[in-house]
Amino acid sequence: MTELTGEIDASPSERLITHLRHVDLAVPHFDRELAFFTETWGLSVETTDGGLAFLAAAGSPEKYCVRLRAADDKRVDLIAFGAASHADVDRLAERLGGAGVRLVSEPDALKTPGGGYGFRFFDPDGRTVEVSAEVDVRGHRAVEEGESIPVRLSHVVVNTPNPEATVAFYRQHLAFALSDTLMHPHLGKMMWFLRTNPFHHSLAIARGPHVALHHASFELRGVDEYLRGTGRLMRAGVEKVWGPGRHTAGNNTFTYFLDPHGNTVEYTTELERLDEDVWHPHLYDFTQPMVTDQWGTAEPMSELIASRSFNDPDRGSFLAPPV
């Protein structure tokens, strides 16, 4: 089943958020998580500071794409997005504050690597979100042919028991646009893909039993590098959840793995870039095999596979991270 949704979003010219910057995770077993993301997953340490590690992707100018923090409880500390300017950060903070959104911090100079200017707020699920501008870029390089390491952080998907409200928040207050929606004939709409630039999605909202991280996805150079990376992790004994395959929504490849704390992380490539002037969102029935996997190489979607990305309930809801 594929049909147009008929929903209308704000014009791209009205957006103040430009792109996804990083996802920050708190974990009890810090050393184990750090070893996984550096020695196995393929990120590099940009800087460390007393139980904090800032990890970069080789092909990205972002100072870091993952921050790890040693903590008693596993949680998502925050999801960070970029803005074009100091003024846009102020405008967005004023817009959100005026709409009654709870700000975690007012716009100010940031003390994280790269500096910059930003603020934090809670979304409807109590997730801490940061928006920043004028962050210093890092020296990066073109990932070479055959290198099976991440080029950049591609997108983040989150679970919520109230997806309609969360989707409405990001569309109405942050001008994210709806690219596509996944539905089930008996369960209704299940996942919404949201964009803030021509990439098909930088954020997706999934219907789940509780607030949690669904998965974080990392872009590789191309299909060959993506398959090499998939094979490398399988040979290393990392638990594979699903894949390899190619989705219809976004037209990107996918292989999902579990990190040492049970978070789902994805290798992907070729996420679709949309012509936003002509694009209309579609509603896809994900019980149709071609919707979940155009190639037919991944295991059929099942309740077991879906449940692996439910994750543990996030203990950070409406609790701002200490740093």
The answer to whether 194 touches 177, Cβ cutoff 8 Å, is: yes
Q: Which domains does the chain have, with CATH numbers?
A: 14-133 (3.10.180.10), 149-308 (3.10.180.10)
DSSP bridge partners of 79: 23, 129
Please tell me the predicted confidence (pLDDT) of residue 115.
97
DSSP string computed for 111-174: -STT--EEEEEE-TT--EEEEEESPPP----PPPTT--S-SEEEEEEEEES-HHHHHHHHHHHH
Each residue's pLDDT, cut to its tens digit, for the chain (323 residues) gives 455 555 667 777 789 999 999 999 999 999 999 999 999 999 999 988 889 999 999 999 999 999 999 999 999 999 999 999 999 999 999 999 999 999 999 999 999 999 999 999 999 999 999 999 999 999 999 999 999 999 999 999 999 999 999 999 999 999 999 999 999 999 999 999 999 999 999 999 999 999 999 999 999 999 999 999 999 999 999 999 999 999 999 999 999 999 999 999 999 999 999 999 999 999 999 999 999 999 999 999 999 999 999 999 999 999 999 99
Instruction: Supply 160's token pair.
Output: 């919520």
The answer to whether 214 touches 163, Cβ cutoff 8 Å, is: no
pTM: 0.96
Please tell me the predicted confidence (pLDDT) of residue 123.
98
Residues ≥6 apart with Cβ < 8 Å to 294: 245, 246, 247, 248, 251
Please tell me the predicted confidence (pLDDT) of residue 6.
52
